[in-house]
Amino acid sequence: MEKVKKRRRRMAVLIVFAAILVWVGGCATGQSMGLSALVSMEDKETAVEGDSVVGGVVEGNTNGSDADEIPKDSNKDQGTDEQTKNDGSNPYKGDPDEDISEETLNPDHNEKRVALTFDDGPDTRYTTAILDILKEKGVKATFFVVGTQVERHPDILQRMVDEGHEIGNHTQTHKDLRTLSKSQIISEISETDNAIEEVLGFTPSIFRAPYGALSKKVMNVLHEHDRRHVGWTVDTRDWAGTSVSDMRDMIRNETKPNGIILMHSFGGKHIINTVNMLSGAIDDLAEKGFTFVTIDQIPE
C-alpha cells in the first residue's frame, strides 16, 4: 500500500509539474491548453477500441458536435417508412435535447395524404355520378376496373383518364383468385390489361384482387408480372348497404396519413349511398387537412 501511495504522489507531482510547464509555454505563445491534452494517445485509442463505433464516431456521443448524420433512406424513391424502425426506436443519434420530429426523419411519414379508390366499374349510372362529384370538387381518385365492364363502357374509362384519375386492374370477371389455377389467374389479369390497353393505349401497373383475397400463389403471379397490389386502410362496406352517415363517420374518424379508402362505383343498388356520401366525406377530409392523391403518390 505504501508503494502505491508513493507512486500516486509521484504521479500527482509530475502532472502538476507538467501543467506548470505547459501553462508557461502556452503563455509564451499566447495560446491556452486544457488538462485534457495531457491524456495519452494510448488511453484514447483504448477508449475507442472498447466502445461501439458508428460511422467513425463513438456511439453514445451526446454533445452534438460529432453526432452521426441522419441515416440515408435507401427506399426514399419507393416512399417506404424505413427511417423509423418497426420497433419504434429512433435511428437519429444527435443532440438529445434537439427537437427531431418524425417529419424530419421522413417527410412522407405523417404527411396527410389520402387516396379515394373505387372498385368494380365503370358503368353509366354510379360511376358517372362519382366522376361528376370528383370533377366538381377538383379531386383525383383511383379506379380499379373490371374487364367486362371496360368492354361495355369504354367511353367512361376514357373519361376517367381524361379527367386525371388513375386506373388499376381488378380482374376480368371479379372471381376469387385463390380458387383459380395459376394460368387462370394470369388470364384474369391479362384479359383486363388487353381491354384497358385497347381503349387507353397502356396497361396499369397497380392491381387489386377482388375481395382483397390473396394467397401465396396470387402474390407470386403479381410479382412475376411486376404488379403492385393495393389494399386499403378504411373499408366503407358500401356494397353491404352502410348508411351515408355511418360511412362519413367512418371515413372522418378512421382515416390516417397515407390512407386508402375503399369504395365502389358499381356492384349493386347500395352504391347510391356512396354517391350521396362522397361530397360530404371529401369536405370532412379537407377540413382535417388531408390532400387528395392517387395511389401512385401513396407509399407502398
CB atoms within 10 A of CB 57: 16
| CB distance 236 to 242 below 8 Å | yes
Question: Measured in whole angstroms, how far is the alpha carbon of residue 272 from the centre of its chain?
Answer: 32
Question: Measured in whole angstroms, how far is the alpha carbon of residue 240 from the centre of its chain?
Answer: 30
Residue 195 in grid coordinates: 381491354
Sign of CA dihedral 276, 281, 286, 287: positive
Residues 6+ apart with CB under 8 A from 37: 22
Among candidates 147, 214, 159, which has minimal Cα distance to 187?
A: 147
Interatomic CA distance for residues 167 and 18, integer angstroms = 78
Question: Measured in whole angstroms, how far is the alpha carbon of residue 96 from the centre of its chain?
Answer: 26
Residue 119 among the catalytic residues: yes
Residues 6+ apart with CB under 8 A from 230: 117, 142, 144, 168, 206, 207, 208, 260, 295
Residue 155 among the catalytic residues: no
Among candidates 296, 237, 284, which has minimal Cα distance to 119?
A: 237
Which residue among 81, 119, 120, 238 is the active-site one? 119
DSSP string, 15-55: HHHHHHHHHHHHHHHT----GGGGS-HHHHHHHHHHS-EET
Termini Cα distance of the chain? 69
Among candidates 173, 211, 165, which has minimal Cα distance to 189?
A: 173
Catalytic residue numbers read 119, 264
